[in-house]
Amino acid sequence: EVQLVQSGAEVKKPGESLKITCQGSGYSFTTYYIAWVRQVPGRGLEWMGIFYPADSATRYSPSFQGQVTFSADNSISTAYLQWSSLQASDTAMYFCARRGYRAADNHGMDVWGQGTTVSVSS
Amino acid sequence: DIQMTQSPSSLSASVGDRVTITCRASQDITTYLAWFQQKPGKVPKLLIYAASTLQSGVPSRFSGSGSGTDFTLTISSLQPEDVATYYCQKHDYVPWTFGQGTKVEIK
């Protein structure tokens, strides 16, 4: 079964750092983009950017450039989303999702993680 | 960047009604358009990609059409389990922007 499994909910204080995970299984991890999506409570889906595990190529939405960092450890098929200094405005649900890299495999974001809730409050 | 605009932002329809949601791209995206369904408290689910290709396991009452800048998601006969928010998303070049969502309710 193809799946993405994300790490559990986090409760943090402003200024703290955080790294959440997204582990893929059942498919070739390095042949799919990993996209990150934010959803603030009661709001819509926001595309944060993508990471391509095969060559670590990264593209960030302008809204998130400089605010977060994407990375991965291909040896354990795990992608990471990290913050160096959280703010209250980072409180949201964060999803990872995959999309095929090759044009022939571009079937949209077909598999999603279950989401990680991040709460930031003093 | 290309903007994605959905309409309406919400709708209420009766069980069995035909429901149509539109999505407009600010520039030509050919057919690189996906539709997602998100039920309250749940993970978004891919319904359609490449504008009209139904994802495996998705009921046939869902269909998509369009190309270029104008796209449509149609539910041919609305069912109670279709209550959700629906999002379009371009899936060609970055940024893979989402529409703002359309909330579908039962009248």
Q: What is the mean pLDDT of residues B60-70?
A: 98
CA-based nearest residue to B22, from B82, B59, B74: B74
Shortest CB distance from B43 goes to which of A49, A110, A112?
A112
> What pLDDT, on a 0 to 100 scale, did the predictor assign at position B51?
97
A7, A18 contact by CB (below 8 A): no
For A43-53, how does the pLDDT look when each residue is reduced to its tens digit (9 = 90+)? 999 999 999 99
- Residue type (1 letter), A21: T
Stretch B57-71: mean pLDDT: 98
Q: What distance in Å separates the CA atoms of residue A26 and residue A41, rounded to the nearest whole number?
A: 31
- What confidence tier does A104 reach under pLDDT thresholds 50, 70, 90? confident
Tell me the pLDDT band of A106, cut-offs 50, 70 and 90: confident
Determine the average pLDDT of the residues in B3-16: 98
Q: Which residues of A touch B95 (CB under 8 A)?
A: 47, 49, 59, 61-62
Identify the bridge partners of residue A30 per DSSP, sorted by sequence position.
none
Q: What pLDDT score was predicted for residue A103?
A: 83
Give mean pLDDT, residues B70-88.
98
Nearest Cα to Cα of residue A12 among A93, A115, A87: A87
What confidence category does residue B99 fall into, taking pLDDT thresholds of 50, 70 and 90?
A: very high
Span A109-120, pLDDT tens digits: 999 999 999 999
Check pLDDT > 90 for residue A102: no
The four Cα atoms A81, A9, A95, B57 give a dihedral, to 10 degrees, of 140
What's the pLDDT score for residue B59? 98
Could you tell me the CA-to-CA distances from A83 to A8, A17, A48, A111 in Å, in that order?
16, 5, 13, 24
- Candidate from A44, A95, A107 with C-beta closest to B87: A44
Query: How confident is the prediction for chain B on average, in pLDDT?
Result: 97
Whole-angstrom Cα distance, residue A93 to residue B8?
25
Residue B50 distance to chain A (closest CA, Å): 7
Integer angstrom CA distances of residue B80 from B16, B39, B72, B86: 9, 12, 21, 15
Task: State pLDDT tens for residues B19-44.
Answer: 999 999 999 999 999 999 999 999 99
In this structure, are residues A22 and A81 in contact, taking their beta carbons and an 8 Å threshold?
yes
Looking up tokens 């790294």 gives A19
> In chain B, what is the straight-line distance between the N-terminal and C-terminal CA atoms, in Å?
37
Residues A115, A117: Cα–Cα separation, whole Å:
7
pLDDT at residue A105 tops 90: no
**In contact, B47 and B54? CB cutoff 8 Å:** yes
Residue A67's pLDDT is 97
CB contact under 8 A, B46 and A108: yes
Average pLDDT, chain A: 97
Question: What per-residue confidence (pLDDT) applies to A72?
Answer: 98
Q: What is the pLDDT of residue A60?
A: 97
Mean pLDDT of A16-38: 97
